[in-house]
Structure 1
Amino acid sequence: MRPPVLDPLFAPVSTLPGIGPKIAKLVSALVGSQPDRDATVADLLFHLPHSLIDRRHRPGIAYSENGDIVTLDVIVGRHMAPPGSSRAPYRISAHDDTGEITFVFFHPRRDWLEKTFPEGARRIVSGKVEWFHDRPQMVHPDYALAPEEAAEMPAVEPVYPLTAGLTSKTLQKAVRAAVGRIPRLPEWLNDAYLHQTGWPDFAEALKTVHAPAERQDLDPDSPYLQRLAYDELLASQLALAMVRAHMRTLGGIARRPTGDLQRAVISALPFQLTDSQVGAIEEINEDLARPVRMLRLLQGDVGAGKTVVALAALAQVIETGAQGALMAPTEILARQHYASLAPLCDKAGIRLALMTGKDTQKERRARQAQIDAGEIDLVVGTHALFQGTVTFRNLGLVVVDEQHRFGVHQRLALSEKGQGVDVLVMTATPIPRTLVLTCFGDMDVSRLTGKPAGRKPIATVSVSLDRLEEIISRVGAAIAEGQKVYWVCPLVEESEKIDLAAVEDRHRVLEQVFRQKVSLVHGRMTAAEKDAAMGDFKSGTTRILVATTVIEVGVDVPDATIIVIEHAERFGLAQLHQLRGRVGRSDKTSSCVLLYKGPLGETAGARLNIMRETNDGFLIAEEDLKLRGGGEILGTRQSGTPGFRIARAEDHADLMEVARDDARLILETDPDLTSPRGTALRCLLYLFGRDAAIRLLRAG
């Protein structure tokens, strides 16, 4: 049950003044946390301003800088109305002791203007000044008040992210009303920590951020934002810790086979394992041997050999008579996993099957019958299939590949497919430590550093697009020697048509220059067309593949040695690194050419420098976090940290660690959240939408 003290915050936004059904829809689209229902008062309160307007700036007309928001004390001059049918704007002149200004209005109501700006009267006017032909003007001032009404204008005004159709005045009015509804909440932070940080209580922090007195109040390191960010992080870490505790109470199965099957898999490999692969396999074996369920994240850079580690883990579980499942995000990847695992499984005697959306009903029924009968040890398929109707005779281990959005709920659902199912999540996106805590805080982590033996580092150079012809001739020389080349063009959703044309143009130019067939892959093609183009490139029928970023994850052509990334300045670091990982997959020397259009901005320049200096994905991910914020790294486009509205990984990383330790301590001392602080923490979990975790508590 939600604590009744929170009821005012969970009322729909339509209960606030000025918000009818139409506006409520717009507000819900902007701030709502649930797509299918109205936003609540709490949702609106967690929609924080990004900056503020200081209306205390009163320089006088002559000293107002272009683009500044200023407040002026003026005497109104003449009204200059446009003639009858003219589309010209309506102008009003005004002056103060320092000079003259014109107020400009488009399509106004004349009677309203004459009442608001009576000729010869004194007015306090606030808005943005623009200098035009050396004369100042203000288009549609924000405020125009008689001196006795001037107190109605806020001295400092918060600025919120908006959506089309919603004005800032409507939103501000609703927020002011919402702030008035913040109840007195019990304190959920530890007294000693609160005293040490000097933070205000939750309500004061929220009120101050919505009515800031100074610009500093909105800084990420202000005590108000730190307090709110910490509350949000604590709610998240506490929920993750509770899920983990729940997973553990469900009990695991201690799996202690002889290890013969795992050794058979390893000896079937055509290469030696790296030290970090050996280490990761040992950590997983230890997890599997305990009577507690495994929840482990396996992080490895592109080409670090995660699949081999996963197969070794699966072999350990299969030897005990249980079954394994490997889930991939796309059908291409599922097929690729199947193709690379088949020869190893064959040698080790593991019965492998592939299930995809392309299977007919008849094939699927036959496959399902084999799984139910225990005639298949390992199933490879996509997430969608696995979350559907597939059942197992005795599922022991699930390996989830490359799925950032595979959240806590899915992890709980997986566990219901069998008795004491162990879970291994793999990712090739090197995730900085702070983000690992955010999204996978309930997991143990193994990192694969280093590349398999015999692989050489990739030489990276950045070259201006002015030297395009030179690069094309070098690519010509490389393919004449028998090398294979990726050529990547960017795709930006807003202008997909233009970018599609750019990809097709580049493809046409390269075919003309080299007088040979060049493969083309982009997002608008059908799966069959993409497969055919990739097949030609893989088999060597074509030597060049022109593509958009669809080739980013998991495409494996070991004899491709060059990748050219056009407009590299448009890509994020993590994406550039993923793309670069398409080459360097054999013992041949590989190179990556970053083609950029100058002049480069500071951030883009820094990105290209980092790419040239290092091949270490983890280092790159940490730098990317500094340059861009966490949302982009995990593939969620909005800025900020995925799943968070206030906390930002790049600003509040230190708080994340504290929140994690705090959450662990809370669950050790008060696992059912029944103490006074525990009761307050239940409010916190509801407030930040982490109430699913409360349902896991034995005490309800």
Structure 2
Amino acid sequence: MSRPEALFPLFAELETLPGVGPKAAKAFEALGVTVPKDLLYLLPHSGVDRALRGSVREVTPPAMLTVEVEIGRHVPPRRKGGPYRVHVRDRKVEFLLVYFHAREEALQRLLPTGQRRLVSGKVELFDGIAQIVHPDHVLRLEEAAELPAYEPVYPLSAGLTQRVVAKAVAGALTRLPVLAEWIDAGLKQREGWPDWSEALRSAHRPEGPSALAITHPARVRLAYDELFAHQLTLAIARSRIRKAKGVSTRGTGDLRARVLESLPYSPTKAQLRALAEIAADMAQPVRMNRLLQGDVGAGKTLVAFQALLIAVEAGGQGVMMAPTEILARQHFEGLAPLARAAGVRLELLTGRDRGAERAMKLEDLAMGRIPILVGTHAVFQKDVEFKDLRLAVVDEQHRFGVAQRMELGAKGEAVDVLVMTATPIPRSLALAMHGDMDVSVLDEKPAGRKPIRTAMVSSDRLDEVVDHLRRAVAEGRQAYWVCPLVEESEVVDYASAEERFRHLRAALGDRVGLVHGQMPPAEKDAAMARFVAGETSVLVATTVIEVGVNVPNATIMVIEQAESFGLAQLHQLRGRVGRGEAASTCLLLYQAPLNETGLRRLTTIRDTEDGFRIAEEDLAMRGAGDLIGTAQSGLPRFRVADLERQAALMALAQSDARKLMLDDPGLTSPRGQAARALLWLMDQDRAIRLMSVG
């Protein structure tokens, strides 16, 4: 599917635009501008009031002033490097234009004595006399119309001036083709949005400060275009997944009922709602692709296990995959009592299984004698075959991209996929990252989870903290001690962890263990295993423990230099305690004095345990790209849209894109054809390739 001809002028060389030579084209690259189309989306970030005034008397210096003047005498500098002054007079009063390091003949040409000119610049008082130093504009009266009453100010990079950018943008705007409308007519009318070309013209020719606001209809329309193109790409990917024939899996409910009867508490409303959504998806003859998002301790495991039981009740098999062996083992141990209650065989398969034992597991799996398997990505290996795999539950989204989701789908006849993540993501980001998936959210804590007391402690009270630990360890409790992220370098982190380990060992004896990123995996596993078994009481660690470790007896979490961690990380780390019967504490050790950001971050963690609230605050503080590390997140870069402040717009774009794909899967209707042009405009080549495949 080739690019529509109407768009060719927007994808030409930058140097075909007025005033853009090879040097400027190179400088534009730093702004992400490589073709004229990119300039359309390089919107001004502020503006300057250039409205024409009658006289200096009408403004209060220092202020912007645009005024018509008659040019008087030139006074060259007395000494080298001094000011060059030109006397000018407006309707009411005389004032000065001042230049430094100027060439006299150039100024005589620009400002000929006795003639009238329009000057614009910042007027200031100097010794009681008004003056403009280096005016921004000096124009002949017949050129006055070229100066907008409100002049847009563009982002610049080295080697570019406002004038070059404005001229190039004006050139790009003359190339706007007439394109059919891709926004739903009802929506556009309801929101009062302008047409595409009108929106671009108005965004580049703001009439005043309000036109630069994110809420201005022209800007909202352009932001919507970006979000809609992005969501349309995800919707196309989603419909590709859904086209893959699925198997309808309906359970009898027997096994699930047994599990619920065995529990000492009832599931939360959120758990029941998520389970109903999953069951409904599995019953459909299309493949499920659902994200189960729940905060630390929201009870995702129970929901996932009940979903696996639906597969078993229907006569099929289920698999649960974790990113590391230690997590796989923990899932296995966590699910074992539930499996016993259901009377269902549960097995673990990791890279450690060898020889005869592995061969037996594989045979049982292929014959359907193992209904539920827990494992690492070892379950991907060629020789692992299922008799009838219906559901794959994948833990921790981050290590598991769209490509792996596809690979897993190839294992069974269009297996249903449920991805679990413990990272609460604000809704707008969840839509941006997982828009190809349906999302279930667990936003309640199960009964019986005790709140964790969180306190901020200045690092000069370190000795008190160590004393507190000594008493806790004597009472048989366990603690994590997380060392700061010193630098990006693992080696430095490792040195700081080693040092803290030695210090605590001297104070508390040999019940202190150490785990960090530089250790060989087997040693790391062994150190963790000793802590899980209770052989060590204090585990000194770099952040390798934030994902998934479950030690119910651990009730103290000390985070050193807590101000160096992000909010989401602090929340994840704190969630490692508070999993047992006893009350838990989290101590945030900080180095005084805290800066404003550090203080805001630590007080947020201290005052709330709600992961979604923390995530929203994180987004507000850091912005979307940093929140999940743009490099590995696959998070799109938007030029106009602002994910933090336009979450509702993103949700609208998603439902609109999905509806369009439902009504017009091949994008062949007039609106579908228009949407294809939008995908080209927004560089969504991935989507275009997917469309042409299908």
Answering whether residue 12 of structure 2 is matched by residue 5 of structure 1, we say no
Answering whether residue 346 of structure 2 is matched by residue 350 of structure 1, we say yes
Q: Residue 348 of structure 1 aligns to which amino acid in structure 2? A: V
Deviation of 1:617 (Å):
2.0
Quick check: 1:454–1:586 contact (8 Å CA) kept in 2? Answer: no
Cα distance, 1:316–1:581 mapped onto 2, change above 3 Å: same
Q: Answer with 293-302 or 524-533: which moved more.
A: 524-533
- Partner in structure 2 of residue 649 of structure 1: 643
* Partner SS state of residue 233, structure 1: helix
* Partner SS state of residue 424, structure 1: strand
Q: Residue 482 of structure 1 aligns to which amino acid in structure 2? A: G
Q: Answer with 46-55 or 445-454: which moved more.
A: 46-55
Deviation of 1:246 (Å):
4.5
Cα distance, 1:93–1:513 mapped onto 2, change above 3 Å: farther
- Partner in structure 2 of residue 556 of structure 1: 550
Q: Answer with 430-439 or 117-126: which moved more.
A: 117-126
Quick check: 1:125–1:144 contact (8 Å CA) kept in 2? Answer: yes
Q: Residue 8 of structure 1 aligns to which amino acid in structure 2? A: P
* Partner SS state of residue 571, structure 2: helix
CA distance in 2, matches of 1:478, 1:115: 84
Trace 1:205-220 onto structure 2 (pairs within 5 A). Answer: 205-220=199-214
Q: Residue 9 of structure 2 aligns to which amino acid in structure 1? A: P
Deviation of 1:50 (Å):
4.3
- Partner in structure 2 of residue 85 of structure 1: none
Trace 1:367-406 onto structure 2 (pairs within 5 A). Answer: 377-378=371-372, 380-381=374-375, 392-393=385-386, 394-404=388-398
Cα distance, 1:668–1:637 mapped onto 2, change above 3 Å: closer
Answering whether residue 487 of structure 2 is matched by residue 486 of structure 1, we say no
Deviation of 1:26 (Å):
7.5
CA distance in 2, matches of 1:57, 1:497: 62
- Partner in structure 1 of residue 298 of structure 2: 304
Q: Which runs of 5+ in 2 are unaligned?
A: 88-92, 126-131
Deviation of 1:624 (Å):
3.7
CA distance in 2, matches of 1:129, 1:536: 73
TM-score (norm 1): 0.76
Find 2:424's aligned residue among 417, 423, 430. Answer: 430
CA distance in 1, matches of 2:644, 2:465: 37
Deviation of 1:13 (Å):
5.3
Q: Residue 281 of structure 1 aligns to which amino acid in structure 2? A: L
CA distance in 1, matches of 2:402, 2:271: 26
* Partner SS state of residue 620, structure 1: helix
* Partner SS state of residue 348, structure 1: coil
Find 1:280's aligned residue among 274, 277, 287. Answer: 274
- Partner in structure 1 of residue 454 of structure 2: 460
- Partner in structure 2 of residue 586 of structure 1: 580
Q: Which structure has the bigger radius of gyration? A: 2
CA distance in 2, matches of 1:499, 1:80: 59
CA distance in 2, matches of 1:114, 1:494: 55
Cα distance, 1:235–1:94 mapped onto 2, change above 3 Å: same
Q: Answer with 654-663 or 169-178: which moved more.
A: 169-178
**CA deviation string 1:243-289 (max 9, x = no partner):** 4444444342222344455556667x775452343543344333323
- Partner in structure 1 of residue 311 of structure 2: 317
TM-score (norm 2): 0.77
Quick check: 2:454–2:587 contact (8 Å CA) kept in 1? Answer: yes
- Partner in structure 2 of residue 477 of structure 1: 471
Deviation of 1:224 (Å):
2.1
Find 1:680's aligned residue among 666, 674, 678. Answer: 674
CA distance in 1, matches of 2:544, 2:151: 44
Cα distance, 1:162–1:467 mapped onto 2, change above 3 Å: farther
Trace 1:106-121 onto structure 2 (pairs within 5 A). Answer: none
- Partner in structure 2 of residue 87 of structure 1: none
Cα distance, 1:99–1:698 mapped onto 2, change above 3 Å: closer
RMSD, aligned α-carbons: 5.3
Deviation of 1:422 (Å):
0.9
Q: Answer with 396-405 or 640-649: which moved more.
A: 640-649
CA distance in 2, matches of 1:392, 1:477: 52
Deviation of 1:666 (Å):
3.5
Q: Which runs of 5+ in 1 are unaligned?
A: 33-38, 82-89, 105-109, 132-137
* Partner SS state of residue 293, structure 2: strand
CA distance in 2, matches of 1:657, 1:594: 36
Deviation of 1:222 (Å):
1.7
Quick check: 1:464–1:595 contact (8 Å CA) kept in 2? Answer: yes
Quick check: 1:631–1:640 contact (8 Å CA) kept in 2? Answer: no
- Partner in structure 1 of residue 248 of structure 2: 254
**CA deviation string 1:391-446 (max 9, x = no partner):** 74443212222215856666555444432321112111123334334433454433
Identity %: 51
**CA deviation string 1:622-667 (max 9, x = no partner):** 4444444444444537999755443223321232343344335434
